C-alpha cells in the first residue's frame, strides 16, 4: 500500500483560508496526485480531485453522507435533517419528492414566471439611475421562487426575504458575523416555511397541487407518514433558497458578457445550443461549490491507497471542473469547449455528479440552467445598459464569491 501525500492540519486550515476555492486543486498539482491527506488527530481526512475520483465518490457502496456535513453548515446553508444528510432508502424516498416537482408543466411555469418578472423589473430599472444587479436579482428570483413553489409572498417582502435567503448561502464558508447572520436568517426562514406548511395542511392556504409547497406538505416520507413540519420547512427551503442563489451565476454571466463582449452578438444571433454552452461555461468557470464531503462507509483501496471506514473524504468540485486532463485550456472562459464535451456525469460537476435519483446530485440543475439561459436572453436581447467603472473583481478566498460591486448597471433601456 502506498502512503498518501500528507499536509498538516494547521497549514491546511491556513491554506484554505488564504487560497479558498483552489485549496485542493493547488495541492494536487503540487503533489502531482489526485489525492492527499490532511493529518488531523483522530480523524483521517482525504482530499480527492478529478473525474475518476468523482466516480468513486458517487458510489453509494463506498460513501455515505450521514455525519459528513458539519453542524455549522447545517445550521446555516442546509438546515438539519434535510435530504443532504440522508443515505440509502431514506435518501431515495426524499429525493424522489424533489424530482417529482421537476415536471414539464412546472418547467413551463418557471419559464413563464421568469419572463414576467424580468419584464417587470426592466420597466422598473428604466426609471432608476443605477441598479445593483446582484441585489435586484435576489428579489426577482425570490418572487419567482415563491410563486413557483406555491409559497405566498407579499410584493414588498421580496427584497427582505430574498436577502435573507441569500444570507443562508452567504454563510457557508464564513466565520464570525457572516456566519451568525446566516444562523439568524435560518431561524427566520424556517419559521416562515414551517408556518406555510402548517397553513397548507390546515387548509388556511391553498397551494396548487404539483407545487413544491403542496408536495412537501403532504408527501409520505420513508416511514409512510407526512414529514414533520420542521423537516418539510427545511426541504421547502431547499427549493426556494437555491433558486435565489442562481443570482450569483447570473451576475457572473453578466461579468462574462462584459469581459468577452464578442459573445453578446453570438448569443443575440445564436440558437439554444449557443446559450446552453455559455451557461455551462459560466457554471464551470466561475466558482460556487468548492468541495463536497462524505464518509467512507466500508474500507476500500483506490490507486494503491487505503481508505479506512469512517475516513472523511473531500471531493474537489472546483478543481475537477478545471482538471487539465479532462479540459483543454481549463483556465480560460471558452464556451465552445462544450461542443466537444462527452456529457460525462463526473468531469463537469458544478452541481454535483452521478445520478439525480441515486446520488446527491443537485435536484435543481435544470432549474438553474433554464434560469441562467432566460437571464442571458434578457441581458443580451431585451435590455441595454451601461457598465460604469466599478470593482468587478471577486476573491477566490471568499466562499461563496461574487463580483465585489454586485455588478452595477446604469441607463437600463428595455428592448422588445
Ligand atoms: C444539491 C449546487 C441550484 C436543489 C446540490 C449539490 C451541489 C449543488 C454542489 C450537492 C451535490 C452533492 O452533494 O453531491 C447548486 C448550485 C446551484 C444549485 C451551484 C445554483 C446556483 C439548485 C436549485 C435547486 C437545488 C435551483 C432547487 C430548485 C438541490 C437539492 C440538493 C442539491 C434538493 C440535494 C440533493 C441530494 O442531497 O440528493 N446542489 N445547486 N439546487 N441541490 Fe443544488
Is residue 185 one of the residues assigned to a domain? yes
> Which whole-number Å values give the CA distances from 337 to 251, 258, 284, 288, 333, in the listed order?
21, 20, 11, 20, 9
366: CATH: 1.10.630.10
Asked if the structure places residue 1 within a domain, the reply is no
Name residue, grid cell 485549496: 23
Residue 177 is predicted with a pLDDT of 94
SS3 410: strand
The answer to whether the complex's ipTM is over 0.95 is yes
Comparing CA positions, the residue from 64, 56, 65 lying closest to residue 305 is 56
Distance CA 178, CA 96 (A): 33
Cα 75 from Cα 186, distance rounded (Å): 7
118: Cα separation from own chain's centroid: 21
Q: For position 273, what pLDDT does the model report?
A: 96
Contact 260, 147 (CB under 8 A): no
pLDDT of 270 = 82
Q: Which residues line ligand 1 (CB under 6 A)?
A: 83-84, 95, 98, 238-239, 242-243, 245-246, 248-249, 288-289, 292, 350-352, 360-364, 367-368
Query: Does residue 35 lie within any of the structural domains?
Result: yes
Backbone angles phi, psi at 8, to 5 degrees: -75, 160
Closest to 314 (Cα-Cα) out of 33, 54, 17, 2: 54
Q: Give distance in angstroms: CA of 368 to centre of ligand 1.
A: 9
Domain count, the chain: 1
Q: 39 has which bridge partners?
A: 8, 44
Whether 134 is in a domain gets the answer yes
Domain membership of residue 168 as a residue range: 6-414
Q: Give residue 69 CA to ligand 1 midpoint distance, Å.
A: 14
Q: Would you say residue 127 lies in a domain?
A: yes
Burial of 304 (0-12, 13-18, 19+ CB in 10 A): exposed
Cβ–Cβ < 8 Å for 219, 209: no
DSSP 328: S
User: What is the CA angle 239-244-247, rounded to 5?
Assistant: 140
In ligand 1, which atom is closest to the CA atom of 359?
A: 38
Q: Return the residue whose CA atom lies nearest to atom 31 of ligand 1.
A: 362
Q: Cα(365) to centroid of ligand 1, in Å?
A: 7
Using CA atoms, how far residue 232 sits from 88, 161, 363, in Å, is 19, 19, 16
Ligand 1 geometric centre to CA of 76 (Å): 15
Residue pLDDT tens, the chain, 416 long: 778 899 999 999 999 999 999 999 999 999 999 999 999 888 899 999 999 999 999 999 999 999 999 999 999 999 999 999 999 999 999 999 999 999 999 999 999 999 999 999 999 999 999 999 999 999 999 999 999 999 999 989 999 999 999 999 999 989 899 999 999 999 999 999 999 999 999 999 999 999 999 999 999 988 889 999 999 999 999 999 999 999 999 999 999 999 999 999 999 998 999 999 999 999 999 999 999 999 999 999 999 999 999 999 999 999 999 999 999 999 999 999 999 999 999 999 999 999 999 999 999 999 999 999 999 999 999 999 999 999 999 999 999 999 999 999 999 999 98
pLDDT at 41: 87
Cα–Cα distance for residue pair 145/122, rounded to 1 Å? 18
163 located within any domain: yes
Q: Does the residue 118 lie in any domain?
A: yes
Query: CA–CA separation, 296 vs 365, rounded Å?
Result: 26
Look up the pTM and report it. 0.97
Q: Is residue 126 part of a domain?
A: yes
Number of other residues whose CB lies within 10 A of the CB of residue 102: 16
Q: Please provide the DSSP assignment of 249-306 as one string.
A: HHHHHHHHHHH-THHHHHHHH--HHHHHHHHHHHHHHS----EEEEEESS-EEETTEE
The DSSP line for 49-92 is ESHHHHHHHT-TTTEE-TTTS-HHHIIIII-TTSGGG--HHHHH
Q: What is the position in ligand 1's atom list of the atom closest to the CA of 65?
A: 13
Phi, psi of 49 (to 5 degrees): -145, 150
pLDDT of residue 402: 98
* Mutation probe of ligand 1 site: the residue of 100, 173, 364 with most atoms within 8 A of C-beta: 364
d(CA 115, CA 118): 5
Amino acid at each position: 500500500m502506498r502512503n498518501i501525500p500528507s499536509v498538516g492540519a494547521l497549514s491546511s486550515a491556513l491554506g484554505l483560508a488564504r487560497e479558498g476555492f483552489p485549496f485542493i486543486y493547488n495541492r494536487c498539482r503540487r503533489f502531482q496526485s489526485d489525492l492527499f491527506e490532511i493529518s488531523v488527530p483522530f480523524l483521517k481526512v482525504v482530499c480527492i480531485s478529478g473525474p475518476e475520483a468523482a466516480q468513486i465518490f458517487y458510489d453509494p457502496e463506498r460513501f455515505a453522507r450521514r455525519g459528513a456535513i458539519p453542524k455549522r453548515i447545517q445550521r446555516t446553508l442546509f438546515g438539519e435533517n434535510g435530504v443532504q444528510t440522508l443515505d440509502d432508502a431514506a435518501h431515495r424516498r426524499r429525493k424522489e419528492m424533489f424530482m417529482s416537482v421537476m415536471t414539464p408543466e412546472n418547467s413551463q411555469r418557471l419559464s413563464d414566471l421568469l419572463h414576467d418578472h424580468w419584464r417587470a423589473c426592466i420597466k422598473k430599472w428604466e426609471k432608476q439611475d443605477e441598479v445593483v444587479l446582484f441585489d435586484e436579482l435576489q428579489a426577482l428570483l425570490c418572487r419567482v421562487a415563491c410563486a413557483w413553489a406555491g409559497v405566498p409572498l407579499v410584493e414588498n417582502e421580496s427584497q427582505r426575504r430574498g436577502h435573507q435567503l441569500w444570507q443562508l448561502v452567504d454563510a457557508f464558508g464564513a466565520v464570525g458575523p457572516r456566519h451568525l447572520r446566516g444562523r439568524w436568517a435560518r431561524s427566520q426562514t424556517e419559521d416562515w416555511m414551517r408556518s406555510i406548511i402548517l397553513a397548507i395542511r390546515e387548509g388556511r392556504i391553498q397551494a396548487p397541487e404539483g407545487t413544491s409547497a403542496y408536495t412537501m406538505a403532504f408527501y409520505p416520507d420513508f416511514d409512510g407518514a407526512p414529514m414533520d413540519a420542521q423537516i418539510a420547512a427545511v426541504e421547502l427551503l431547499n427549493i426556494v433558497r437555491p433558486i435565489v442563489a442562481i443570482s450569483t451565476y447570473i451576475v457572473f454571466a453578466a461579468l462574462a458578457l462584459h469581459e468577452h463582449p464578442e459573445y453578446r452578438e453570438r448569443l443575440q444571433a445564436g440558437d439554444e445550443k449557443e446559450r446552453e454552452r455559455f451557461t455551462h461555461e459560466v457554471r464551470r468557470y466561475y466558482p460556487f461549490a468548492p468541495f463536497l464531503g462524505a464518509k467512507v462507509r466500508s474500507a476500500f483501496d483506490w490507486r494503491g491507497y487505503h481508505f479506512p471506514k469512517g475516513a472523511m473524504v473531500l471531493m474537489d468540485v472546483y478543481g475537477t471542473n478545471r482538471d487539465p486532463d479532462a479540459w483543454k485550456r481549463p483556465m480560460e472562459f471558452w464556451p465552445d469547449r462544450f461542443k466537444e464535451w462527452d456529457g460525462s456525469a463526473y468531469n463537469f460537476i458544478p452541481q454535483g455528479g452521478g445520478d439525480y435519483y441515486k446520488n446527491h446530485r443537485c435536484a435543481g440543475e435544470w432549474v438553474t440552467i433554464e434560469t441562467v439561459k432566460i437571464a442571458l436572453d434578457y441581458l443580451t436581447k431585451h435590455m441595454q445598459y451601461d457598465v460604469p467603472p466599478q470593482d468587478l473583481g471577486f476573491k477566490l478566498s471568499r466562499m461563496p464569491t461574487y463580483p465585489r460591486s454586485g455588478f452595477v448597471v446604469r441607463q437600463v433601456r428595455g428592448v422588445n
